[in-house]
Amino acid sequence: MKVETIATATILWAPFRRPTVLISDVHRNTRGPHNNCQSDLLIEFLRTHCPPGDWDLFELGDNRDVWEALDKHQIILDNRQLEILLGIYNGVHLFGNHDAEADAPGKPFVYDRGGAFLWHGHQLDPACRGRGTLGRIASVAWAAAERLYLGRLLGGFKTCVQRWSTNRIRTASRRGGDNRLYIADAAERAADGICLYVNGHTHKPQLAQLEGCIYANPGSWVGEGRGYAVTVVGRDVSLLAITA
């Protein structure tokens, strides 16, 4: 495993009492051809660089992909080692559009305290309005195709649909776009005393210094042999790339 620091920034004041690691879009689901969660790499990274007891952990949504797997309990069983490790940490597990419908009742979507504003961020994505019904239907249909091992056969069709939807919706918050929509939101919230703004959803890791605020996106853990994380130690913020 290799851990590389991509970018660093200094925040105005420390938003957390202890060293904190932020991850997003782990998308752990059931075993099978559609499971691209890099769970082994994530486990190794957390145990080696951010051990529980010394660090707190924030998970910023799309934690368990119930769109594709549908059975939350089977997700937990198939990711038992990762579930146990994440459960040891003191921290917060926020919810995103892929896990909200199964886990959301009474659970937090936003963390907003101490000058830190953290969320998954799908609330800003026009494609996710109305619970993202179209996206959910498409995701479940694709998962069914992969269970029948038709994913490779239909891969070209999926690519065409993705290109069409990206052009059709035209929003910076879509995967394949960038984080401009969220950076603009962060700049607005800085005027209200937010010094650290973090979101996931786009799968685009980034760390940027804004006027009076640090913007961060911890990327995802679905790229083959790769994952990303943001660490906050006192006033020091770092964006890390982790490769197998």
| Other Cβ atoms closer than 10 A to 15 | 23
Domain holding 121, by residue range, is 2-243
Is the pLDDT at 160 greater than 80? The verdict is no
User: CA-CA distance, 188 to 203, in Å (whole number)?
Assistant: 22
| 68's tokens | 């594709």
Is the pLDDT at 45 greater than 50? The verdict is yes
Query: What residues are paired with 20 via a beta bridge?
Result: 56, 232
* Single-letter amino acid, residue 45: F
The total number of structural domains that make up the chain: 1
Residue corresponding to tokens 């995701």? 139
Query: What residues are paired with 229 via a beta bridge?
Result: 240
User: Tens of pLDDT along 193-233?
Assistant: 999 999 999 999 999 999 999 999 999 999 989 999 999 99
- pTM attached to this predicted model: 0.82
Is the pLDDT at 68 greater than 80? The verdict is no
User: Tens of pLDDT along 93-103?
Assistant: 999 988 866 56
CATH for 119: 3.60.21.10
CA distances from 134 to 127, 128, 130 (A): 8, 9, 9
- Which H, E and C letters describe the chain, residue by residue? CEEEEEEEEECCCCCCCCCEEEECCCCECCCCCCCCCCHHHHHHHHHHHCCECCEEEEEECCCECHHHHCCHHHHHHHCHHHHHHHHHCCEEEECCCCCHHHHCCCCCCEEEECCEEEECCHHHCHHHHHHHHHHHHHHHHHHHHHHCCCCCCCHHHHHHHHHHHHHHHCCCCCCCCCCHHHHHHHHHHHCCCCCEEEECCCCCCEEEEECCEEEEECCCCCCCCEEEEEEEECCEEEEEEEEC
User: Tens of pLDDT along 10-31?
Assistant: 999 999 999 999 999 999 987 6
